[in-house]
Amino acid sequence: MNLGARRMTAVGSEDEAFEALFIAEYGRVVGIANRVLADPHEAEDVAQEVFIDFHRLHSATAEYAPAWLHRAAAHASLNRLRGARRRQKREAAQALEESDHSASESDRSELC
């Protein structure tokens, strides 16, 4: 067997291993994300990100794969919640600044 054929076999078996891992763990990963986020659509987005990150960084045959995926789903979901809170605070502060700015402009125009 030449080197190219061995690579194709390894790639094929890695793809098959990842597909099997995905099928076995997708429901659990989405479930974890959904419990944290309470939003099934966001949970599916998180699950996709987690699987993409795992595929990019690790072998699908790694013994720690299910644990890594479950922990990553929880952490990614918590990060989403934190990001949403930060965004809400930032938008509220910005809206307050804009309302203060427009109020001070209207005060100035009344004085003139």
* CATH number reported for the structural domain that contains residue 70 in this entry: 1.10.1740.10
Name the pTM for this structure: 0.73
**Binning pLDDT at 50, 70 and 90, where does residue 8 land?**
very low
- In the chain, the amino acid numbered 4 is G
The pLDDT, as a whole number, for residue 98 is 83
Residue with tokens 């890594």: 68
DSSP-assigned letters across all residues of 2-50: -HHHHHHHHHHHHHHHHHHHHHHHHHHHHHHHHHHHS-HHHHHHHHHHH
Domain that holds residue 35: 3-111
Per-residue pLDDT tens over the stretch 52-92 = 999 999 999 999 999 999 999 999 999 999 999 999 999 99
Q: How many separate domains does the chain show?
A: 1
CA neighbor of 43 nearest in space, from 26, 30, 25: 30
